[in-house]
Structure 1
Amino acid sequence: MSLSDQFSGIITNYSRLIIAVMLVVTVAAGAGAGMVEQSSSLDQFQSDTEQAQKLTYIEDNFETGAENTSSAQVILRGQNSLSQESLVETLRLQQSFRENETVRQTLVGDRPTVGVANLVATTARIGEQQRELETLVTEFEQLNETVQERQASLKEDTAAVNETRQRLRNALDTLREDLEASPRNVFDRVHQQAPVQLDEKQFTTFNDSAQLVRTAENKSQIERAYQQGTEGVLDSEYSALEQRQSKLKADSKRLKELGSQIEQRRSDLQKVEPSIQQQIDVLTAMNTAQYERALSVVLSADSTGPMNGLAFMPTDYDAGSTTANATMMIVSHQTNGDTGQGGTASQQLIDAQLTMQSIAEKQAQGADAEAIVFGTGILGEEINNSMGDSLAIVGPLALLFVVVALVVAYRDLIDILLGLFGIVAVLIWTFGFMGWAGINFNQMFIAVPVLLIGLSIDYAIHIFMRHREQREDGGAYGNDDIRGSMRTALAGVGVALVLVTATTAIGFLSNLTSPVPPIQDFGIVSAVGITAALIVFGILIPAVKIEVDGFLENRGYSRKKRAFGTGGGRFSSILSAGSTAARKAPVAIVLLAVLVSAGGAYGATQVDTSFNQEDFIAEDPPEWTNSLPEPFAPGEYSMKDNLEFVNQNFVREDSQAQLLFEGDVTEREAIQRLSDAQRQAANSSVVVTLSDGRADVEGPLQTMQRVARQNETFNATFATADTDGDMVPDQNIEQLYDELFAVAPDEAGSVIHKTDDGYQAVRIVVSTSGTAQMSDVRTETKQIATGLAGDGIETTATGQVILFDIVQDQLFDTVVESLLITLVAVFGFLMVTYRLIDGSAMLGAVTLLPVLFSVTWILGTMYLLGIPFNVMTGMITSLTVGLGVAYSIHMSERYKIELARTGEVWEAMNRTVTGTGGALLGSAATTVGGFGVLAFAILPPLQQFGIITGLTIIYAFLASVLVLPSLLVLWTRYFGPNASFDTTTTEMSTTPTASDGGQVEKSSDKQ
């Protein structure tokens, strides 16, 4: 007795025990389903490439923005978004954001909202403060000049008085020593030589002193005489000097006070911007001239520094113009490290941005304008909603279609319910495995339930149809017709089901070669799911059907039903087309298939590959979905249109490429390479050009040049380092970096990486156009990086856009590698299996050949329909092999059994295409319907996946019932067992005899 006979015997003999054990396993597996978490982040698709590592290095070592923050772009569109009224409304919108509890609790504490309106109001307010500061500075400068002049004059006059005093003292010495000397003559000589002019009154005082000197009797009288003859003579001069000194002290004190006031005003100018209400008051109070003057300052092409508002304007805005159809503001959120699973936005952030959108739309409607909120929270919410809405639509539709197809195929309520019960069990097993294994549910896994529904029902149809055939022909084992027929059916179809499961699992597991983690997970989960389908429908459902049918027949209800596609009729005639063609012109059929496949192979080389954010954003659902009842009705989706508008008109916050330079970045050659890189980047077609005509490129040179314009000290250092005046320093680079970090540490840290060991790396940030092709961004930045590497400098082009393009390349590699691996693995598996079981390895090759045809057909169809390889359709090649080979295996297995039974090729072929072909038609119909409903999904990749997978099933079915019969005939003729090809000895049976699990009743020599 064969292994399949023994195994089927265990199932049928111990059906109740089997049911109990399987139900326990189902409950245990289902416990893990509740642990499945959802993730929609595109970061999960990235693999550990060099570029990804370098981006992580940048995020860890450069100041890339405030930590644990996220930003949203709020775009306001109107007839003139730069009018004074529009900017006031913008400030009121910001005020509404800050007053709303849901939004306020996520906003950063320092300057949470910023846009043109804030800059204009702040500029106007700063203008007032600046004018006050200028008045103080003017007063300070004038007073300082006066004080300096007075200090110099006082110093000069004091020296003159002191010199005159000394001459008077010398004159008294002369008179004291020479009693004959004339006081008049001595005084006149002093008068002629001293810098201070002396008069007669002063001579009188001097003469009195001279007499006192000559008559003094002691030291005290002498000192008094000298005091009177010097300081006494110059008393008026010394009094004037004291008055001037007192005035100078008062001026110096005032000068110090002015200096303190100036420093305070300057400090005030650098403090946090005024409150929103203060900004509203400033804008409202401005007259037209004041408003336009402030607006021109903010939006001037020459504007630099923090007051430059051009970054908030459309890229086609004419700098300096007072009109524009849109403006943008940035809202900064504090995330506190609280992100959702897989790096997605937290629910708090999602709620905040959804609330912002509601507030903005309501206020914009009142102002006859339009508002767009673009951020990670609202984007993630739409992606998550589209996943849920897609499941809500396609899940019930898939089940409904399967039920309808089963009604047609089974025409029996009990069998339909058993099939649905088995599907539910398979889904429980699969999602339970995901939970226990910690695999997150992402966009790709929406296809898993549909996939498993289609594949599971295939198993049910094949087993139930074979069981019905056996019951019509009479059970082959024992008196229990139900158990005997099921045992025979399982033995007959069991090998095919195991082969189908193995080959399909191989197809899914080939995705493990993909470097894209979600594709690997999809392959694992799908392989587990198809294995679960084999176990459930190969063990549990047959056991349950035995018990249910036995229970009903014991109560007088007949459970005998005719197998679908047997007994003649239209379906039998249609299914016999392949058999008829194989009998008349098998070689022509094969050549025709090869010719069509050649055309498909050419189309396959033209299929594009796509991976970008837009792929996962749903479009607004069609109108027919509006009539769906809750909870099936989808929500509204506007992000795709909004994203397109942002890409075409604004600089996206998340659309950047970066050039990383590592090594000795303080060398003159390194700085020159930076200059070359920035110049090349600025001239690139993929880089955003702002409305002032400058490319949006930020690096160490731009940072140093900007700081130099704002800081006189650093400007002097920069000028010294730039010996040739080309704005590129060529000496003392390390000293220049040191001072840059001293005067502007945040700006320096954003482009330069500094450690205790010195300067390790610098980076250039390039804002790329949202409409630029990712491949162009990657190619151009890589060329820049590669061309500037060397001499101890390592350069790398990285950034989110580049990482997405790498994933895009990896998707194509996945398509090619998974197809080759699947083909080789399945080919080897079938060759070895058929060699061991039947002694003919060529039957394995013949069974696989129709699948190769269908692969080329489906790839050619993708080219004709313009469907690219993406994260979903990129698996279509391995999926085609995995799914398509099932149809071929069922046909080959049935043909092999019938050929052994009858020994006649045409009789065996006829029974195969009408018996197994009927089951294949039923399973193909349900699978196509199951996948076809994905066309109604909200997510575009799922729509494409559903369409292309449905066509894959159709092609696989057609190849198995139209092309494979001719291949089997040729195999029988040249490689198979001896069999009769005589078409006249016996009339073709219209109702095939049920197979007996491989038991040969008669044989015939090959005619």
Structure 2
Amino acid sequence: MEYQWLIDRGDEIIVNRSKTVIVVFLLVTAAFVGGLGSISTESGQQQFIEDLPSFQAIEDINEDFGSSFSDETTSTTLIQEATNVLAKGALVDMLETRNRIEETGALRVSETSTVAETIATTLDPEASTRDQQLRAVERATPTEIDEAVREAADTNSGFTGQLSDDFNRESASASATQGSVTHRAGPGEGAATGPGGASEYPPNKEERMERLVTDDSSTIWVQGTPPNTTGITTTVVLPSALVLIMLFLVVAYRDLVDVLIGLLAIVMTLVWTFGFIGLAGIPFAVLLIAVPPILIAIGIDFGIHSINRYREERVTGKGISESMILTTDQVSVAFFIVVGTSAIGFLSNVVSPFPPTRDFGIVAAAGIVFTFLIFGVFVPALKVTVDRAREKYPIPTFSQAPFGSERSPLGRLLAVGVTVSKRGPVVFLLLALVLTGGAGVYATDVGTGFSPDDFNPEAETPEYLQYLPESIRPPAEFDYVRLNDYLDENFEQDGQVQMYIEGDMRRNTALEEIHRAGEDPPPTFRTDTRQAETESIVTVIESRAEQDPEFRALVDRNDRNDNGIPDRNLPRIYDELGEDTTSGFLDADRRSTRVLYTVDGDADDDVVTDEAYSLSENFRTNAQPTGTNVIFDEAISLVFESVVQSLVLTLIGAALFLVAAYWVIEGSPSLGVVNVIPIIVTVVALVASMRALNISFNAINGTILAIAVGIGIDYSVHVVHRFADEYHERDLYEALQRTVVGTGGALTGSMLTTVFGIGVLVLALNPALGAFGALMSLSVLYAYLSSLIVLPSVIVVWARLRGDTTAKLPLVGAVSDRLLGQQSSTLPSGSDD
């Protein structure tokens, strides 16, 4: 296929109509600026799990059994600490705090749940108001309070769950307790529907509640919603990346005007990408923070290659137009191959089950195309225009020498791979194969994970961040995380599995089915005798029957097997309970219900999930397990599945694209295979490093392998394509030498810029994003090293297989000579050779 006419047309436009190109690109930039104001943000782990069946079940539960739209709710946690939080003084502190919070209308409190309330109503069952409960505690003696504590521990299943692990029943003491406050949100404000979905409404509720705390005999903390670190991270990471990139641009270009050209192109790339995000209506989530550093790094790489190649021609005495035509003739093809393979790597993420990962793939693919256009067309046009102006006006010029030469220390260092390829390419490749295979075996044990901790920062922010300007300075400590750590350390956190059951609950066997499903439950499920510890419409009926003799008689009349569970006339039973009583466990149409099971909080999520699905098979109707354990375990499974799918798609897609590209461009599809080998080495080394650094695949870094291929292939493409060009006119080793030294210099500048530019993500407050940045930097470093050290030997072997007899393979020659020598010694004397 003839493609040179297209490149020639592009060259003509860039060189002869450079000012028109500049104007067009600036107008397009202005158009994308319009999309910047439409960008919305999204944070928390809910965005990753909202498409899971188990999370959809949570949504259905909230819709069927939650409050109406106008009564959406959010919650706040109260944490109390004292020598003994069950002593009178601490109980009074909590009740007075509760009273003040409830009396503040702006907090829109609909319900509270504290240990102090439970003890107050145990002391006086008639204490139904706030004042009555406070008086019950104030008038009680220490002995009466201790007895009430022991009674509540015996009769109230949720009482001990609100107390710290050191609760002592005999002494009626504990060092900490936790309670909750439920707030009514206004219409349209949204609710805390599932893990990570907590709303900030009412606004500033934590600060308001902290001012209402009574702490005469104890300390009470208010824990609200998880911190949103997306904005803070962006304001810290991007400026840091730009400072580092500016530094390396100065080193690579050594010319102020070229540095300014590079910076302008970077800014345009970001404007186009962010404008696309706004115009496409894609929410800016935590994973998209990684896109700007990636595009900046690739753009810098393109810029350095373009400018460096242009300078290589200029130092030989060629003119501006001729030098730029020769430059764009070569680098535009390489840029196109890089863009194609990188876009395939990024777009492979659209198969991910996580919406933010799919958005990341789309935005990154669009961004890489924008980068190609800006650095492949706009930058050369601007460079031509500026250099022509330099000939007319006294614009200062510093260094115009290319980065790296054969005589420079850098050039000699870069040539190590060529030296190895001359002396023992086969031995070296066999050694590399053994090392890669060993690393691959080691990498098979890399873990996967999905946890709320992936999205929360450390409790204390690094001290150096406190020197930032106040407008972007993060708090010295995130109270939410600190209190969350406190809860993990001091409370036994029982888990909860919900079973969302869809079926006609008016059937005579409906309640019996729920009861039978809980008999002999799995090991991780908490039990009461041999029955699972549950909350359901069945427990609601049992509780009402204990308190209401008339209702108990109704149940007995409709209980044919005398086990306390009605098995006929169920609509009448529900009517007697009333909709207000049943609404938490039975939907209005009586066609779905939910059952809450208490599970061991220390059990592994995968074990709880397996057992929950096993228990769901006891229901004849559709039963979907859900809850935090189930949701996160399913997410973990999907993380690994997503990693494998995206990697396979990337490798297959990139390999096919490279084979086709080199078939068209060079008439040698096998060069595409050569191009892929360093990437395989890079991917294996990266996964092995993840295991060594104890970094697990999660929803954020699950894209890393596809990205490593997409970005890493950039380095091998530049080497292989430059070699192919040089190989047309020179012998094998001279072509390799010129390739590795010339292109290697640009690759070195690009690698340093990328490693440190993307590496600033380690400054991110989100720990998963920091690990992502570290892995990105490692992938680039491995791709750089494999392209300059491993790839030359692969090229030599490729050339020999293609029939180039100048390609020296000492090991093959020695083995061949040895075999021929043995064959000669076995021939009969006097026979012909």
Instruction: Tell me if both proteins adopt one fold, taking TM over 0.5 as the criterion.
Output: yes
What residue identity is the alignment partner of 1:942?
Answer: L
What's 2:377 paired with?
539
Please identify, of 482-491 and 571-580, the stretch whose mean Cα deviation from structure 2 is larger. 482-491
1:362-761, aligned counterparts within 5 Å? 363-364=214-215, 367=217, 369-375=218-224, 378-379=225-226, 382=227, 384=228, 386-475=229-318, 481-556=319-394, 557-558=396-397, 561-619=400-458, 620-635=460-475, 636-647=477-488, 649-650=490-491, 656-663=496-503, 665=505, 670-681=510-521, 684-685=523-524, 687=525, 697-722=534-559, 725-727=562-564, 729=565, 733-736=567-570, 738-753=572-587, 755=589, 759-761=590-592
Q: Report 1:218-367 matches (<5 A).
A: 273-275=128-130, 277=131, 279-297=133-151, 299-303=152-156, 309-314=159-164, 317-319=167-169, 321-339=171-189, 344-357=197-210, 360=213, 363-364=214-215, 367=217
1:925 has 2:762 as partner:
no
Q: Deviations over 1:672-727 (max 9, x none)?
A: 4422332344x542x4689x999752123322221111111121233344455544
Residue type of the partner of 1:585? G
Q: Counterparts in 2 of 1:911-950, with a 5 A limit? A: 911-950=738-777
Deviation for aligned residue 1:395: 1.6
Task: Quote the residue 1:68 is aligned against.
Answer: 72
Does the alignment pair 1:953 with 2:792?
no
1:960 Cα shift?
A: 0.3
Do the aligned residues in 2 keep the contact of 1:566 with 1:918 (CA within 8 Å)? yes
Q: Report the secondary structure of 1:105's partner residue.
A: helix
Aligned alpha-carbon RMSD (Å): 2.9
Residues 698 and 680 (structure 1 numbering): CA distance in 2 closer, same or farther, change over 3 Å? farther
Preserved contact between residue 161 and residue 493 of structure 2 (Cα < 8 Å): no
How far did 1:126 drift?
A: 4.4
Q: What residue number does 1:13 align with?
A: 16
CA spacing shift, 1:359–1:449, aligned 2, 3 Å? farther
CA–CA distance in structure 2, aligned partners of residues 358 and 889 of structure 1: 62
Distance apart, 1:447 and its partner CA: 1.1
| Structure 2 Cα separation of the partners of residues 900 and 316 of structure 1 | 78
Q: CA 1:471 to 1:78, structure 2 compared with 1: closer, same or farther past 3 Å? A: same
| AA of the residue aligned to 1:97 | I
Contact 2:508-2:569 at 8 Å conserved across structures: no
Structure 1 segment 848-927 matched on structure 2, within 5 A = 848-902=676-730, 904-927=731-754
**Partners in 1 of 2:266 and 2:347 — Cα distance?**
22
TM-score by length of 2: 0.90
* Structure 2: runs of 5+ lacking an equivalent: 810-833
How far is 1:311 from its partner? 4.9
Instruction: Report if aligned partners of 2:74, 2:198 keep a CA contact under 8 Å in 1.
Output: no
Residue-pair matches, total: 799
Contact 2:517/2:619 (8 A) holds in 1: no
1:443 Cα offset (Å): 1.2
- Work out the CA distance in 1 between the residues paired with 2:601 and 2:280: 38
How much does 1:436 deviate?
0.4
Task: Determine if the alignment matches structure 1 residue 783 to structure 2 residue 614.
Answer: yes
- Conserved in 1, the CA contact under 8 Å of 2:51 and 2:354? no
User: Judging changes above 3 Å, is the alpha-carbon distance between structure 1 residues 53 and 97 closer, same or farther for their aligned structure 2 residues?
Assistant: closer
SS in 2 for 1:349: coil
Q: Residues 124, 701 of structure 1: CA spacing in aligned structure 2 closer, same or farther, 3 A cutoff?
A: same
Matched, 1:106 2:107: yes
Counterparts of 2:601 and 2:68 in 1: how far apart (Å)? 21
**Take 1:693 and 1:944, find their aligned partners in 2: how far apart are those partners?**
45
Match of 2:655 among 822, 827, 839: 827
Q: Partner amino acid for 2:535? A: E
Give the partner amino acid of 1:374. Q
- The 3-state SS of whatever aligns with 1:660 is strand
Q: Is the 8 A contact 1:657 1:798 kept in 2?
A: yes
Distance 1:303 1:879, change over 3 A: closer
Post-superposition Cα deviations, 1:947-975, rounded to whole Å, max 9, x if no partner, equal 11111001000110001111111112212
Cα deviation for residue 274 of structure 1 reads 1.7
- Corresponding position: 1:762 with 2:593: yes
Does the CA contact (< 8 Å) of 2:94 and 2:116 recur in 1? yes
Are 2:680 and 1:843 equivalent residues in the alignment?
no
- Equivalent in 85, 88, 91 of residue 87 of structure 1: 91
Other-structure match for 2:812: none
Structure-2 separation of matches of 1:918 and 1:506: 27
Can you give the 5+ residue segments of structure 1 that lack an aligned partner in the other structure? 128-268, 476-480, 984-1007
Aligned to 2:325, the other structure's residue is in SS state helix
For residues 631 and 344 of structure 2, the distance between their equivalents in structure 1, rounded to whole angstroms, comes to 29
Q: 1:53 to 1:303 in 2, by over 3 A?
A: closer
**Can you list the C-alpha shifts for 1:763-785, whole angstroms capped at 9, x where unaligned?**
21124455443222211101111
- CA displacement, residues 193-251 of structure 1 (integer Å, 9 cap, x when unaligned): xxxxxxxxxxxxxxxxxxxxxxxxxxxxxxxxxxxxxxxxxxxxxxxxxxxxxxxxxxx
Distance, in Å, in 1 between the alignment partners of 2:417 and 2:302 is 23
CA shift in 2, pair 1:509/1:595, >3 Å: same
Q: Deviations over 1:826-859 (max 9, x none)?
A: 1111111111121111000111111011111101
Taking the aligned partners of 1:876 and 1:767, their CA distance within structure 2 comes to 37
SS of residue paired to 1:659: strand
Write out per-residue CA displacement over residues 560-611 of structure 1, whole angstroms, 9 at most, x where no aligned residue: 6111111522111110001111111111222222212212222332111111
CA change 1:97–1:302 in 2 (3 A) is closer
Do the aligned partners of residues 980 and 303 (structure 1) sit closer, same or farther apart at CA in structure 2, a change above 3 Å counting? closer
* 1:733 partner SS: coil
1:946 is displaced (CA, Å) by: 0.9
* Cα distance between partner residues in 1 of 2:665 and 2:527: 69
Q: Relative to 1, partners in 2 of residues 1:543 and 1:407: Cα closer, same or farther, differing over 3 Å?
A: same
State the shift of 1:634 in Å: 2.1
Q: Return the alpha-carbon distance in structure 2 between the equivalents of residues 921 and 342 of structure 1.
A: 49
Counterpart CA distance in 1 for 2:604 and 2:171 is 31
Aligned partner letter, 2:30: V
Aligned-partner Cα distance in 1 for 2:136–2:720: 84
Question: Is the Cα–Cα contact under 8 Å of residues 339 and 345 in structure 1 kept in the other structure?
Answer: no
Inter-partner Cα distance in structure 2 for 1:661 and 1:43? 23
**Aligned-partner SS, 2:708:** helix
| Amino acid in the other structure paired with 2:484 | L
Q: Which residue of 2 aligns with 1:193?
A: none
Q: Which has the larger radius of gyration?
A: 1
Output the CA distance in 1 between the equivalents of 2:39 and 2:166. Answer: 46
